[in-house]
């Protein structure tokens, strides 16, 4: 599975385990295609769920234009 897809799926989870939080951190530290993430989020109307599903430190790793 592409890391962009994995990030979206893990970010929208309501109750995340510590393992899932660490996986999100690892994905965010890698080189991501934010255009693809934005496209999927807009197409499926998940933008708010993705943003709210990330903690504050994870949100800071996102590009400001996203």
Return d(Cα 8, Cα 32) in angstroms, integer: 12
Structure token digits, residue 11: 């970010």
Does position 43 have pLDDT exceeding 90, yes or no?
A: yes
Q: Taking all residues of the chain, what is their mean pLDDT, rounded to a whole number?
A: 95
Q: Give 65's pLDDT tier (boundaries 50, 70, 90).
A: confident
> Residues 5-28: pLDDT tens digits?
999 999 999 999 999 999 999 999
Predicted local confidence at residue 20, as pLDDT: 96
Predicted local confidence at residue 66, as pLDDT: 76
């Amino acid at each position: 599975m592409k890391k962009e897809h994995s990030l979206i799926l893990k970010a929208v989870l309501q109750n995340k385990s510590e393992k899932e939080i660490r996986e999100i951190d690892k994905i965010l530290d890698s080189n991501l295609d934010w255009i693809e993430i934005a496209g999927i989020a807009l197409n499926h109307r998940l933008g708010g769920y993705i943003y709210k599903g990330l903690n504050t430190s994870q949100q800071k790793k996102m590009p400001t234009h996203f």
